[in-house]
């Protein structure tokens, strides 16, 4: 799939903000007796969306990852008041993966003359309401589901696809992070940094009411951490969150340390950072990573 232009990068988080507001208004308490069982979770979410909100979704549980696919039409509209942001960097490469027990990063980030840019598009009102209602259905089921020692969903992938125009937004998040933001143990901003959101354009999306173009898979913790590191790097330099004179290698190392320590992830031998622009290479073993403080 092709990534959409950067001016659309904030759209995938709009539904999240509405969901959090709903959580705070309705509360996140649940009864002591579970309403939903793991084996019924797909049907429960589909039925709530269909019967109560007239929304057709496809829910699919793969291992410990729950996928929810929502087809819509004409997702985007021109914004009357475009949101302004600054551009200081351009990311030409940004890859992270675990390979043979090592966390490997490759990145090419350039400083460019600072300029103002604008978020020109927004969700249209009808689609925004659908996004909010799907979030409410998910929260309702998950916070009223049986609690298992293992086997309950740990990761979620929500995909909202414009099947008329071939455009989609997606979010991947961790169940424990959802609980933490719902009970206000972490901030909204931190939750947005932990949630991997992407926007994609592909002809395969057009007319796909079933989500057949998706790669339904069981997302693992190491995959999620690698994706989150990439996501945090994008936010840091596209938002941007750092000054134009920032040490890029140092800022990326901060992201690596923070993410690994946040999830207590120790199943790696070392981290290797390769700056493709400067050819600078940094290798730190696990002990060195874990010994460093979180800035």
Q: Could you say which of 169, 185, 215 is where a domain stops?
A: 215
Task: Please tell me whether residues 272 and 149 are part of one structural domain.
Answer: no
Angle between helix axes 175-182 and 14-26 (nearest 10 degrees) is 50
pLDDT (average), residues 238-266: 96
Above 70 in pLDDT, residue 61? yes
Task: Please tell me whether residues 96 and 36 are part of one structural domain.
Answer: no
Find, among 236, 243, 72, the residue nearest to 159 by Cα. Answer: 72
Q: Which domain holds residue 209?
A: 2-75+124-215
Task: Please tell me whether residues 129 and 112 are part of one structural domain.
Answer: no
Find, among 257, 255, 267, the residue nearest to 223 by Cα. Answer: 267
- Tell me, yes or no, whether 221 lies in a domain: no
Task: Please tell me whether residues 144 and 281 are part of one structural domain.
Answer: no
Compute CA 255 distance to the chain's CA centroid, rounded to the nearest angstrom.
Answer: 16
Residue 16 or residue 256, greater confidence: 256
Task: Please tell me whether residues 52 and 137 are part of one structural domain.
Answer: yes
Please report the pLDDT score of residue 2 as a whole number: 39
Task: Please tell me whether residues 111 and 128 are part of one structural domain.
Answer: no
- Tell me, yes or no, whether 222 lies in a domain: no
Task: Please tell me whether residues 60 and 130 are part of one structural domain.
Answer: yes
Please report the pLDDT score of residue 177 as a whole number: 97
The strand order across the sheet containing 65-72 reads 2-3, 196-201, 167-174, 155-162, 65-72, 58-62
- Tell me, yes or no, whether 80 lies in a domain: no
How confident is residue 17, by pLDDT bands cut at 50, 70 and 90?
Answer: low
Task: Please tell me whether residues 103 and 183 are part of one structural domain.
Answer: no
How confident is residue 239, by pLDDT bands cut at 50, 70 and 90?
Answer: confident
- Tell me, yes or no, whether 24 lies in a domain: yes
How confident is residue 39, by pLDDT bands cut at 50, 70 and 90?
Answer: confident
State pLDDT tens for residues 169-216: 999 999 999 999 999 999 999 999 999 999 999 999 999 999 999 999
Could you tell me the CA-to-CA distances from 289 to 5, 112, 223, 271, 274 in Å, in that order? Answer: 34, 31, 19, 8, 16
Task: Please tell me whether residues 133 and 235 are part of one structural domain.
Answer: no
Task: Please tell me whether residues 137 and 281 are part of one structural domain.
Answer: no
- Tell me, yes or no, whether 60 lies in a domain: yes
Cβ neighbour number for residue 95 with a 10 Å cutoff: 15
- Tell me, yes or no, whether 131 lies in a domain: yes
Q: Could you say which of 158, 192, 215 is where a domain stops?
A: 215
- Tell me, yes or no, whether 223 lies in a domain: no
Above 50 in pLDDT, residue 3? no
How confident is residue 144, by pLDDT bands cut at 50, 70 and 90?
Answer: confident
- Tell me, yes or no, whether 267 lies in a domain: yes
Task: Please tell me whether residues 153 and 176 are part of one structural domain.
Answer: yes
Please report the pLDDT score of residue 80 as a whole number: 87
Provide the domain count of the chain: 2
Task: Please tell me whether residues 106 and 188 are part of one structural domain.
Answer: no
Q: Could you say which of 157, 184, 215 is where a domain stops?
A: 215
Residue 240 preceded by cis peptide, ω within 30: yes
Above 70 in pLDDT, residue 219? yes
């Amino acid at each position: 799939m092709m990534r959409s232009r950067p001016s659309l990068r904030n759209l995938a988080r709009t539904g999240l903000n509405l969901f959090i507001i709903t959580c705070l208004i309705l509360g996140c308490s649940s009864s002591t007796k579970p309403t939903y069982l793991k084996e019924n979770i797909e049907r429960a979410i589909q039925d709530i969306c269909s019967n109560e909100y007239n929304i057709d979704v496809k829910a699919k549980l793969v291992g410990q990852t729950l996928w929810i696919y929502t087809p819509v039409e004409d997702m985007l509209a021109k914004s009357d008041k475009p949101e302004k942001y600054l551009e200081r960097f351009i990311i030409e490469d940004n890859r992270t993966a675990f390979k043979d027990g090592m966390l490997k990063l490759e990145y090419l980030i350039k400083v460019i003359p600072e300029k103002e840019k604008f978020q020109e598009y927004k969700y249209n009102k009808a689609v925004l309401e659908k996004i909010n209602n799907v979030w409410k259905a998910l929260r309702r089921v998950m916070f009223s589901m049986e609690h298992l020692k293992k086997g309950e969903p740990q990761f979620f992938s929500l995909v909202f696809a414009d099947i008329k125009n071939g455009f989609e937004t997606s979010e991947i998040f961790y169940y424990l992070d959802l609980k933490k933001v719902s009970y206000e143990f972490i901030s909204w901003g931190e939750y947005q940094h932990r949630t991997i959101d992407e926007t994609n354009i592909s002809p395969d999306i057009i007319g796909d009411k079933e989500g057949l173009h998706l790669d339904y898979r069981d997302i693992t913790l190491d995959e999620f951490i690698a994706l989150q590191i990439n996501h945090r790097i994008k936010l840091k330099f596209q938002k941007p969150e750092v000054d134009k004179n920032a040490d890029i290698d140092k800022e990326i190392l901060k992201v690596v340390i923070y993410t690994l320590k946040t999830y207590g992830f120790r199943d790696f031998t070392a981290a290797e950072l390769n700056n493709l622009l400067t050819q600078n290479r940094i290798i730190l073993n696990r002990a060195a990573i874990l010994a460093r403080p979180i800035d």
